[in-house]
Structure 1
């Protein structure tokens, strides 16, 4: 039997490694930007075409490479970060595995221009599918200029599984966001199809957070700073009112490296217990300084997971630090009076003048308030309307007559009888006492119903459910889901007939968002305007709402758009596929408030009529049941003793 084990060619081995390192265009951007940071760059520019499918260009002003280093950098396991196995336990650089450039070159056409500060000329290297096409001298600026073209051109299956440009761009923005937060001392610029998306100048951490997440977050940040022998924690957490239902504002960094750590995330959420809703997530931007020997950053190919040697102790420190910061934020400052210019009063010493004594008050021991005449004679005052003795005496005599007989009055017998009818526990609702009254007259008076009038056939229960009798039994309607169905089909009808009417706002509303949320809203503004919105892009990350669909009535447009963005985060989708249907769904859901709303009888009747004018009245836009009918047989079984 012949031997069957063989060594793979380098090109195949590189493609296999690329499957772990290069998952999508965002992976390429992350690896090359991290290399620029390790090269001491202070300015990094990223240019993209078609969300990285066609072009990814990363330009930095770092140290650059010599011609030999430039050539060796594309070999597998070639790195300048580690030399010995012990170096793996003292890693502080971003890239160290030596597989990034080799993996990228295996699945793309790559071109590198680089020059060191001490060199007069730089180096230009062109590589296709791991094969070096050319290497020559070239005039270029200091640093590195990587250009990656046609990603996955030689692996059609991988290229086919890439998402839409919008989805891939979102992943790239997330990676840049993480890196920019960890390195606020570096300026970043991100261009997509010649349009600038990020322009982040060098700043401090708080300013960098504001630049990425909008000005509204600035007043919601609470500083955190704790230093122990195990871990040092700095950064910011969000105020409880800033907590959201979706994730996206939660960041952990260990030695300036972004990481995901569900165990530490639990420490944060536990610290917020009982001060935020159970379905919301607090925002946090926390940086950990840890001895590299106490953590392992090499447990995952993407290096987003880090293993801590003493996780339990770190958990308690993080939890206590967050609780402490929240406590400081909630403490009311004590009142401190200004003592400047105040007169200084010295304390009395024992050897001072004995003639000095405490002040005393003289009291008339013979004073009797009931002896009016004696009081007036000893303390004569001018006679006036208020201090007239005769008037005082007359008023005193009237006190008894004013209250006489009240304790002897009896409760009206008719009222007493009515009270007995409502004595049973739990019968505080007059409607519930109908079965316990022998005659209908008192009930009719209690319900304020005129003779001959008819009660409503609808019962509005707990401002949430609508109950009405039908032939087969009792119908129960979920009020909120019914409103969603009505609005959903109304929005679709507006699009179909192109008769959407915009209700212009007397005072336009302005909404400022973070970069990620702004890009998300910008992608659906055109579709939203088809529904009757009038939203205009004012400046970077700022939108002005001039009008809303008239079908929505009175609603907070800013809160509505924020709700739409949150729904889009929960359910990512391709804009080109069923855009109108999706926007109609999220508009219907976000337009219906979660709080329970009281409806008048006419409004309940109108809601019932509108619901059964819909094409599918029994199902909400999200596929949930709107109503249910309880058969008479089930009611009889329920009431059977």
Structure 2
């Protein structure tokens, strides 16, 4: 086949794929145009999650008739005039690609006016065809209506997700702009129902409270720092108020929302050891810098940036987070337990074992004696800690005296197990009140008590859900939970499935829910946190994730919540009960996340290192 120049309409449809991924992309581009036009009020109305129609109205400066016509020409923009302007971009849009790309895959109508007693202009276009322009009566501002998205590219249309998912994506992009511009009034309606509404304010914290609730806003710590080159402002959560996902992490650079690995890594390092394992802080951070130090033209959707001095930005943000945490008393509300075992906001788990210890958990700063009846329990704990952890390097004076064979023994790597019979081993104690130590003919077995119990609970939960026999605890008084709009939208699509897992919720207001029952295994937990984490799991969308996959994730999360924590003492009978239950699961060697539950120090290896064989 010979090389041919593509027809303009086909070329535009292909190019549109870089800009318009889904209806949320259209909403984002149109909002950015409204913000660049100086709007103080932006209203978004969508039908069928934006697939059927999207309408964005603003009270910005509007356009003259000639500008309205040129707006649909590719690479026509008022934002930049020369290559040098790319180094000083302060507007959100600058490529002149959004409207032509949208017009190539939808039916579009633009109405705009500059006010001052003059008439407005209406421009209509379908599928990148010819423009139809006429004069109309219209006040100041611009309204863009986009109908039947991807109507002429069915291959793109079939890849759109369900309405609930697409509506959640739209809600997220509106939230992002609402956070970046608290001075602007935003509203979002879906099929006539209000999903989001804000009032203009000059206080970012008020906007955060509007979108995410006063409870979350009350847990935040202010960040404010500048060095002449960079300035950062915003809010972060205390280490005792964390999430199991990153859904509530928002980073803005020069008022542009980005997902930047440098910023996220810097903030995580700023918390250092304060965060519970697997938990993430809430972030609302606004970084400003000279546009010349930043390249925003590296991603089709402008969702990524490149820094001129990446390490400088990393160090600056990390230090700002560290300083904010050190200066705030909320940071020191986290005990040593919280930084290791989980969020301080969580209640201690209940367990179905008789005589399960309760009360505060001991700290992990030192190696505690192992729990058990034997008088030698301290020796097991001390010795196996050295076995489980690499020995420190010997200093110059100790090197000659150190026995290389002993060092080699304690440096021996244990092996994950996949075919052991746990009943052949007998518990002898605990290591750090976190690992069950067992001995048997094949050697020494070390079991992670948390993930072992997680496996047991997960399989029980899964079987009960499959048989529709989940034990439920009805709440005496329903709990009201307010969620961010995007999470509320995601949760509302799965209420029936969640009810089958014992979590009964019903809509209450725009973004609120009444919690009426919970799975009995979670009755002692902070139920609001459970609802928020479930909503967060549902909001995260991964490729080819089915409803069943999402429910599996939630069962795993619930099992993890209720499992014994690390740094929790157990009696020998409780250890035996756990190992008995674990042995009777379908997959006793790995947790639901795939991590090994037990490690074996083989007896032959130990004997060989001591030259016994």
TM-score normalised to structure 2 length:
0.74
> Could you tell me which residue of structure 1 aligns to residue 173 of structure 2?
175
Contact 2:449 2:564 in 1 (8 A): no
Give CA deviations for 1:466-510 in whole Å, capped at 9, x if unaligned: 577889888776543443343333333433443434223445544
- Greater C-alpha Rg: 1
> Please, which of 562, 565, 587 is the counterpart of residue 591 of structure 1?
562
> Could you tell me which residue of structure 2 aligns to residue 149 of structure 1?
147
Deviation at 1:199, TM superposition (A): 1.0
> Could you tell me which residue of structure 1 aligns to residue 402 of structure 2?
none
> Could you tell me which residue of structure 1 aligns to residue 374 of structure 2?
431
Alpha-carbon distance in 1 for matches of 2:81, 2:45: 33
List runs of 5+ in structure 2 lacking aligned partners.
Answer: 332-368, 380-424
Give yes or no for the alignment of 1:549 onto 2:519.
yes
> Could you tell me which residue of structure 2 aligns to residue 372 of structure 1?
none
Alpha-carbon distance in 2 for matches of 1:331, 1:560: 22
Give CA deviations for 1:174-212 in whole Å, capped at 9, x if unaligned: 322221111111111112232221111212211111222
> Could you tell me which residue of structure 1 aligns to residue 121 of structure 2?
123
Give yes or no for the alignment of 1:259 onto 2:258.
yes
> Could you tell me which residue of structure 2 aligns to residue 375 of structure 1?
none
Alpha-carbon distance in 1 for matches of 2:474, 2:307: 56
Give yes or no for the alignment of 1:218 onto 2:187.
no
> Could you tell me which residue of structure 2 aligns to residue 77 of structure 1?
75
Deviation at 1:97, TM superposition (A): 1.0
> Could you tell me which residue of structure 2 aligns to residue 396 of structure 1?
none
> Please, which of 94, 98, 101 is the counterpart of residue 100 of structure 1?
98
Contact 2:33 2:93 in 1 (8 A): yes
> Could you tell me which residue of structure 2 aligns to residue 192 of structure 1?
190
> Could you tell me which residue of structure 2 aligns to residue 271 of structure 1?
270
Deviation at 1:329, TM superposition (A): 2.2
Superposition pairs for residues 512-591 of structure 1, below 5 Å? 512-552=482-522, 554-565=524-535, 567-568=537-538, 572=542, 574=545, 576-578=547-549, 580-591=551-562
Alpha-carbon distance in 2 for matches of 1:320, 1:466: 39
Bigger Cα displacement from structure 2, 9-18 vs 20-29: 9-18
Change (3 A) 1:464 1:278: closer
> Please, which of 43, 46, 50 is the counterpart of residue 45 of structure 1?
43
Deviation at 1:32, TM superposition (A): 0.7
Change (3 A) 1:579 1:292: closer
List runs of 5+ in structure 1 lacking aligned partners.
Answer: 333-425, 437-455
Contact 1:560 1:591 in 2 (8 A): no
Alpha-carbon distance in 1 for matches of 2:605, 2:304: 55
> Please, which of 165, 180, 185 is the counterpart of residue 163 of structure 2?
165
Contact 1:60 1:145 in 2 (8 A): yes
Deviation at 1:640, TM superposition (A): 6.4
Secondary structure of 1:51's aligned partner: helix
Alpha-carbon distance in 1 for matches of 2:468, 2:435: 34
Deviation at 1:81, TM superposition (A): 2.0
Q: Kindly indicate whether structure 1 or structure 2 has the higher relative contact order, using CA contacts under 8 Å at least 6 residues apart.
A: 2
> Could you tell me which residue of structure 1 aligns to residue 430 of structure 2?
461
Contact 1:164 1:574 in 2 (8 A): no
Contact 2:449 2:566 in 1 (8 A): no
Alpha-carbon distance in 2 for matches of 1:296, 1:484: 45
> Could you tell me which residue of structure 1 aligns to residue 300 of structure 2?
301
Contact 1:110 1:146 in 2 (8 A): yes
Secondary structure of 2:240's aligned partner: helix
Give CA deviations for 1:395-425 in whole Å, capped at 9, x if unaligned: xxxxxxxxxxxxxxxxxxxxxxxxxxxxxxx
> Could you tell me which residue of structure 2 aligns to residue 391 of structure 1?
none
Alpha-carbon distance in 2 for matches of 1:245, 1:213: 16
Give CA deviations for 1:414-447 in whole Å, capped at 9, x if unaligned: xxxxxxxxxxxx999873559x9xxxxxxxxxxx
Deviation at 1:49, TM superposition (A): 2.5
Change (3 A) 1:582 1:246: closer
Change (3 A) 1:473 1:197: same
Bigger Cα displacement from structure 2, 209-218 vs 588-597: 588-597
Alpha-carbon distance in 2 for matches of 1:233, 1:202: 22
Contact 1:21 1:103 in 2 (8 A): yes
Alpha-carbon distance in 2 for matches of 1:624, 1:249: 27
Alpha-carbon distance in 2 for matches of 1:67, 1:637: 88
> Could you tell me which residue of structure 1 aligns to residue 353 of structure 2?
none
Superposition pairs for residues 499-518 of structure 1, below 5 Å? 499-506=469-476, 508-518=478-488
> Could you tell me which residue of structure 1 aligns to residue 233 of structure 2?
234
Secondary structure of 1:325's aligned partner: helix
Contact 1:215 1:512 in 2 (8 A): no
Secondary structure of 2:374's aligned partner: helix
TM-score normalised to structure 1 length:
0.71
Contact 2:371 2:572 in 1 (8 A): no
Deviation at 1:103, TM superposition (A): 0.9
The number of equivalent residue pairs is: 526
Give CA deviations for 1:498-546 in whole Å, capped at 9, x if unaligned: 3434223445544443333333443433322222234344444444434
> Could you tell me which residue of structure 1 aligns to residue 87 of structure 2?
89
Deviation at 1:28, TM superposition (A): 1.0
Deviation at 1:220, TM superposition (A): 2.6
- Aligned-residue Cα RMSD (Å) equals 3.8
Contact 1:230 1:314 in 2 (8 A): no
Alpha-carbon distance in 2 for matches of 1:65, 1:115: 6
Deviation at 1:90, TM superposition (A): 3.1
Bigger Cα displacement from structure 2, 171-180 vs 245-254: 245-254
Secondary structure of 1:248's aligned partner: coil
